[in-house]
Amino acid sequence: MLFSSSYLARPKVELHLHIDCSVSWTALQRLETGLSFEDFRAKFTAPERCASLKQYLDAIAPSCALLQDARALQVVTEELVAELAQDGVIYAELRFAPHTHLAGGLDLDGVMAAVAQGVRAATDQYAIRVGLILCALRDYSAESNIAVIDLAARWRDRGVVGVDIAGDEAGHPLAHNYATFDRAHDLGLDITAHAGEAAGAESVLEALEKLRPKRIGHGVRCLEDDAVVALLKARDIHLEVCPSSNVQVGVFPSLDQHNVDKLSRRGLSLGINTDARTVAPISLSQEYERLESTFGWGPGEFLAHNLEAARHAFQPDAIRAELVESLLTGWKSPRSVS
Ligand SMILES: [Zn+2]
For residue 2, being part of any structural domain is answered with no
Euclidean distance between CA atoms 195 and 169, whole angstroms = 7
153-187 burial, b at 16+ Cβ within 10 Å, e below that, comes to bebbeebbbbbbbbeebeebebeebeebbebbeee
Euclidean distance between CA atoms 284 and 301, whole angstroms = 14
Residue 335, phi then psi, degrees to nearest 5: -90, 165
CB atoms within 10 A of CB 194: 27
For residue 299, being part of any structural domain is answered with yes
Told to judge if 209 belongs to the known catalytic residues of this protein, a careful annotator would answer no
State pTM to two decimals: 0.95
If we measure between CA atoms, which residue out of 92, 144, 136, 138 comes closest to residue 118?
92
For residue 331, being part of any structural domain is answered with no
Predicted local distance difference test score (pLDDT) of residue 336:
53
Ligand 1 centre distance from Cα of residue 19 (Å): 10
Residue 11, phi then psi, degrees to nearest 5: -70, 140
For residue 35, being part of any structural domain is answered with yes
For residue 32, being part of any structural domain is answered with yes
80 lies in which domain range? 9-321
What is the CATH classification number for the domain harbouring 258? 3.20.20.140
- Choosing from 14, 83, 93, 197, the catalytic residue is 197
Ligand 1 centre distance from Cα of residue 218 (Å): 7
Ligand 1 centre distance from Cα of residue 333 (Å): 31
For residue 3, being part of any structural domain is answered with no
As beta bridge partners, residue 240 has 217, 271
Tally of domains within the chain: 1
For residue 238, being part of any structural domain is answered with yes
Ligand 1 centre distance from Cα of residue 17 (Å): 6
For residue 332, being part of any structural domain is answered with no
Per-residue pLDDT of the chain (338 residues; tens, 9 = 90+): 456 788 999 999 999 999 999 999 999 999 999 999 999 999 999 888 888 777 888 889 999 999 999 999 999 999 999 999 999 999 999 999 999 999 999 999 999 999 999 999 999 999 999 999 999 999 999 999 999 999 999 999 999 999 999 987 777 778 899 999 999 999 999 999 999 888 889 999 999 999 999 999 999 999 999 999 999 999 999 999 999 999 999 999 999 999 999 999 999 999 999 999 999 889 999 999 999 999 999 999 999 999 999 999 999 999 999 999 999 999 987 655 44
